[in-house]
Amino acid sequence: MPNTRNSELCQQTKDSIANAAVDLLLAEPEAELSVTRLCRQAGVSRNAFYRNFDAVEEVVGYYLRSRWIRYASSLPDRRDLLESPGRYLIIYIYGQRPLLRSLREKQMLGVLEKMFLEVLGPDEGTPPSLRYHRNGMAFLIYGLVRTMIENDFTETPEEVFLLMDSVSGK
């Protein structure tokens, strides 16, 4: 039987490090985000950091993914999420504006691309023909979000949805 206490501690450590990273990014967007600063802010050792993450960028990706999962789980009707995951991802990302502005300044938006592929991209068993569709959809939505970020979120999700609908002919 797996040791659930160790699993819970590992989860708490990861969450502490991720929250510390976001706190630092929001409080001091111009400051360097280093493993040493993260560990000090989170109150964990470097060993604890490297036991859970390989790099600072991975921490930010973990934060975004875990918050996405929490957001998606809170939706009252998850069938909508299955029908239009890109729309919900855009709404979620819009709610993360301060963090994404900081990531843009630090040129760390690559973590967002990885997240989009994990959330919207094909699973391992997806047939090749469907892989094209799923990857295309992931990069289309990612492109829209990157444009929103580059435009400093001057468009609301609703305005982006209107654009998506006009392009798709809805």
Q: What is the pLDDT of residues 55-88, one digit of tens each?
A: 999 999 999 999 999 999 898 887 877 788 888 9
| Phi, psi of 123, deg, nearest 5 | -80, 170
Give the per-residue pLDDT at 40.
95
pLDDT of residue 5: 59
More confident residue, 140 or 40: 40
Q: Residue 52: pLDDT band by 50, 70, 90 thresholds?
A: very high
Number of domains in the chain: 1
pLDDT at 42 over 80: yes
Nearest to 64 by CA among 102, 38, 32, 37: 102
* pLDDT exceeds cutoff 60 at 1: no
Q: What is the DSSP string of 66-123?
A: HHHHHHHHH-S-HHHHHH-HHHHHHHHHHHTHHHHHHHHHTT-THHHHHHHHHHHS--
Higher pLDDT: 169 or 125? It is 125
CATH code for the domain of 111: 1.10.357.10
pTM score, two decimals? 0.86
Whether residue 164 has pLDDT greater than 90:
no
* pLDDT tens digit sequence for 99-150: 999 999 988 999 998 888 888 888 888 888 888 888 888 888 899 999 999 9
Domain that holds residue 89: 4-168
Report yes or no: 60 and 53 within 8 Å, Cβ to Cβ. no
